[in-house]
Structure 1
């Protein structure tokens, strides 16, 4: 509910701050006094677009702030989705800067107009004779019927199932589309995969293969160079081994004469040992060498194969070819299993559809049972509101299709005259009739659902006498379950409010400004008397006003 409203520098409003209570709140005032400005300010607060023309003084900032008690609205999930701090007392603020830029805040957190409008729709519901087409929509009619039928749990279950069904259907469509694409590529991918799998690729193979090929391809040079090296080491008289042995012998004989000579002797000893080891290794390497034209040819062919595959697939390593092999295996496997996957998903869809049919059947039973009760109550209220011949002809028809809230279509037809033909609400009901139908539906709905604050903007235009009293009683009954504002010219409705506010214009320092005032008892008597008899208030008007106020 709206607890407080603060408006600064908006249209004819210089500064206004007002608090509101629960129940029925009536707002009165002369035509042109500025009641529409309040709705304009609230509209900005609820997410409507703004421009600099709505600012009183364009050199200053315009601020509109509303304080809302949302403890009973179950909006915690909404705040979590929007990443906002939840407070039972939530503050919404809208600012229009001198530059023309507009900003919006929820609990001091900047938000987009889209987020603001989404929250605003859950907090305030504004109705005027020009804003009643909602009642003609099937979505709204189902919303009312389901609230009365107590079908919220089934509707929630149905929507979960429908969401899952659409997800599965999307998966099937994607797989079918992929199957068409993959099938075209399947034979080619299979050919490429076989070629790579036949190559029996091994990580690190290329380096080893290149070394083996180089060794076999240059075996004569390797043998020659190894043999020459062995000869240099082992040759008698001039062999490196014999010469080094002489040096070793000489140094060992003088090693004891100084530490430096001793170090040299040890180093030569180490070199001699290392050379001996090298000699053994050279002999081993020479022994292992054997010309093998067949192995050389195999290595050449293998290298050529790997090179061709790298060029063909535009890669530079064996590891990349291995990764490509794995990717092709996945594609081929996926193509081969697509039909099986599609069939599995279709079976899952059949199961979900069966469950949806069951839930939709429960929803249909509840709706069908509730519909005549709702129609009877609606016609009774409209009769009290001066539409004695108002009649509805409504029918629920089950369909094969899955709609957003069930498997039915609702024909909700209306006739205002006895014996008249039925037609769609938006085609046969006048603006005044739609207004009364809307207030009647909201009155019924308020007993079954937690509605946002409702503002009726002169929805009682054209109503008088006993019907005005009935409409006032209806608003009063609604206000037992929710906060109701009524901007009205009817004294019967104005007097029924627990609180009454007056909108008026006032000249201050040669400037006309709009003010909003909470009336006390005496002020209410005079205001309602003026609504009854005009500016020249008579004693009878005062008496009538006091009677309406039950004073």
Structure 2
């Protein structure tokens, strides 16, 4: 339940602190006093959209804080999932708006997103505004109503999961079928492209080797000439380096004995001779290996031309990329060949998923079929004393294409008169009748939803007198197991409150401010008398106010 609401610099509110009590609290006040402003501030900490226009003092932030007692509600999982500090007894929601329009949200002083604030707020307070009365005509709301009373969350979750899996397989099958059809159309093209690359017998890295061989073959004659000249320089009998070194070695041996123990020059010459002899042998091998082969050169050039042609055609730069492309074509052709088998396998999975979905939907249908007539009967029982003695309600389950919510939609039909046929509730119910029906619905589902707090924003619109008193009794009954806050303009409802607050507006110079006052017993009498008679209090109005309050006390006893 909400224990305290603190509002600072919001619209006409400078600062307001409201201490709420358990059971039924009522908020009254003249039209325009600011009851909707208080509700708007509360909506901020429940994650509703912020309007910068509520920041009236541009020198300071707007701050709204709500203090909630959560000791009896299992909310630990939410705090753990969102990594927020958890206090098992109290939770503080805060929203700040800066004059520049920046909005910040906090849970227990931990910065959070507005979405997180809204998710938690929905588990703490249900605000029923007049706008929500429109939901009664919404088939989705009607379906949710049946499901809440059916307590079929497990079946709903199973149906949702089955539908998601079924939809995934449908999409997968459609995609595979489209791809297979497209692939069939281009199969001949793919096969031609693959065959051309396969016939090329591509080898990774061959392009570099071919280019090196082409360079060598194209210069074979030139290279052989150079090799001949090099070997001639080394081993020519007339001017060759090797014969000259041989002679040099012989002559050095004849004189080196005269020069002591220094390293023998002839040995060094011999070493040079051996190295050059080895070089000469290498050059000879190169010369023998190098063949002037125009036929091989033409063959290499043709191969290089083929590779370049394929690269240009397929818009790649390397043979390795051609090989990857060839393998991709092969894989696509294989998928085409085996595509029907894969499609058949997924189709079988889809059949199983469809059966599972319809099984889950059937379980939902059975629960709903049990609850629908009970809901209709309970609505008639609760609504009849609210000025609708001849009320009739039917809750119909209409078949629809199976989705995550099951295989039916709900249609609530209504008639308030004996001679009126049942028709969709949104078509025939008046505003007052819809308000009363929604109150009955909230009463029926409040225990199932286990919400800590519900706020009614003038749900008693369009009713008066005895009917208003009975609506007040319903709110009082609801407050036995939850906190109920009612914003009302009816004295009969206001008299039912365990705690009474009055919202009023005062002008301070040229500035109007909204205030809130918790009323004592005598003040309650005066406020309810004002609601009965207007601004001019009469003795009769005061007596009637006392009677209404006394009746509440008797009912509580």
TM-score by length of 1: 0.88
Determine the structure 2 residue equivalent to 1:313.
314
Instruction: Tell me, yes or no, if the aligned pair for 1:124 and 1:455 is still in contact at 8 Å.
Output: yes
Say if 1:55 and 1:299 are closer, same or farther in 2 by CA, change over 3 A: closer
Shift of 1:301: 2.4
Instruction: Tell me, yes or no, if the aligned pair for 2:227 and 2:287 is still in contact at 8 Å.
Output: yes
Cα deviation digits, residues 301-357 of structure 1 (max 9, x gap): 222211211222232221222222233233333333433333222221111010111
Say if 1:420 and 1:103 are closer, same or farther in 2 by CA, change over 3 A: same
Instruction: Tell me, yes or no, if the aligned pair for 1:193 and 1:325 is still in contact at 8 Å.
Output: yes
Cα deviation digits, residues 259-303 of structure 1 (max 9, x gap): 9x7498776554333212212222322333445454344323222
Q: Which moved more, 1:113-122 or 1:331-340?
A: 113-122
Distance in 2, matches of 1:266 and 1:160, equals 93
For residues 209-228 of structure 1, the aligned pairs below 5 Å read 209-228=210-229
Say if 1:231 and 1:345 are closer, same or farther in 2 by CA, change over 3 A: same
Determine the structure 1 residue equivalent to 2:427.
427
Instruction: Tell me, yes or no, if the aligned pair for 2:245 and 2:273 is still in contact at 8 Å.
Output: yes
Say if 1:214 and 1:62 are closer, same or farther in 2 by CA, change over 3 A: closer
Structure 2 SS opposite 1:446: helix
Structure 2 SS opposite 1:30: coil
Cα deviation digits, residues 153-172 of structure 1 (max 9, x gap): 01000001111111222222
Q: Structure 2 stretches of 5 or more lacking a match?
A: none
Shift of 1:51: 4.2
Q: Which moved more, 1:130-139 or 1:264-273?
A: 264-273
Determine the structure 1 residue equivalent to 2:485.
485
Whether 2:550 is the aligned partner of 1:547: answer yes
Determine the structure 1 residue equivalent to 2:194.
193
Aligned residues: 547
Say if 1:272 and 1:520 are closer, same or farther in 2 by CA, change over 3 A: farther
For residues 138-157 of structure 1, the aligned pairs below 5 Å read 138-157=139-158
Say if 1:523 and 1:189 are closer, same or farther in 2 by CA, change over 3 A: same
Determine the structure 2 residue equivalent to 1:379.
380
Determine the structure 2 residue equivalent to 1:395.
396
Distance in 1, matches of 2:460 and 2:490, equals 8
Say if 1:330 and 1:482 are closer, same or farther in 2 by CA, change over 3 A: farther
Whether 2:160 is the aligned partner of 1:159: answer yes
Structure 2 SS opposite 1:441: helix
Shift of 1:434: 0.5
For residues 59-74 of structure 1, the aligned pairs below 5 Å read 59-69=59-69
Q: Which moved more, 1:152-161 or 1:335-344?
A: 335-344
Structure 2 SS opposite 1:485: strand
TM-score by length of 2: 0.87
Shift of 1:183: 3.1
Distance in 2, matches of 1:199 and 1:256, equals 73
Distance in 2, matches of 1:213 and 1:457, equals 92
Determine the structure 1 residue equivalent to 2:170.
169
Distance in 2, matches of 1:367 and 1:320, equals 62
Distance in 1, matches of 2:546 and 2:332, equals 90
Say if 1:70 and 1:197 are closer, same or farther in 2 by CA, change over 3 A: farther
Distance in 1, matches of 2:479 and 2:412, equals 27
Determine the structure 1 residue equivalent to 2:417.
417
Say if 1:266 and 1:12 are closer, same or farther in 2 by CA, change over 3 A: farther
Distance in 1, matches of 2:251 and 2:364, equals 112
Instruction: Tell me, yes or no, if the aligned pair for 2:143 and 2:409 is still in contact at 8 Å.
Output: no
Q: Which moved more, 1:197-206 or 1:246-255?
A: 246-255
Whether 2:57 is the aligned partner of 1:57: answer yes
Determine the structure 1 residue equivalent to 2:95.
94
Structure 1 SS opposite 2:447: coil
Instruction: Tell me, yes or no, if the aligned pair for 1:95 and 1:103 is still in contact at 8 Å.
Output: yes
Determine the structure 1 residue equivalent to 2:206.
205
Instruction: Tell me, yes or no, if the aligned pair for 1:128 and 1:435 is still in contact at 8 Å.
Output: no
